[in-house]
Structure 1
Amino acid sequence: MRYLLQVDFPHNGPFGDELSVAMSDLAKDIANEKGLISKLWTENEATKEAGGIYLFDNAEDAARYLQKHTERLESFGYSNIRGKIFAVNEALSALSIPAK
Structure 2
Amino acid sequence: MEKVILYVDFPHEGPFGKEMAENLKDLAKSINEEPGFIWKVWTESEKDKEVGGIYLFESRKSADIYLEKHKVRLEEWGYKNVTYKIFEINENLTNINHSPI
**What TM-score do the two structures reach when normalised by structure 1?**
0.95
Separation in 2 of the partners of 1:87 and 1:93?
11
Separation in 1 of the partners of 2:34 and 2:46?
27
Separation in 2 of the partners of 1:69 and 1:88?
21
After TM superposition, give the deviation of residue 95 of structure 1 in Å.
0.4
Separation in 2 of the partners of 1:49 and 1:31?
23
Could you give the per-residue CA deviations for residues 17-75 of structure 1, whole angstroms, max 9, x where no partner exists?
Answer: 00000000100111101000100100000110001000000001101111110110111
Residue in 1 aligned with 2:15?
Answer: 14
- Within-5 A mapping of 1:1-100: 1-97=2-98
* Residue identity opposite 2:35 in structure 1: K
After TM superposition, give the deviation of residue 77 of structure 1 in Å.
1.1
Counterpart secondary structure, 1:7: strand
Identity %: 50
Gaps of 5+ in 2: none
**What TM-score do the two structures reach when normalised by structure 2?**
0.94
* Residue identity opposite 1:8 in structure 2: D
Runs of 4+ in 1 over 4 A off after TM superposition: none
The count of residues paired between Structure 1 and Structure 2 equals: 98
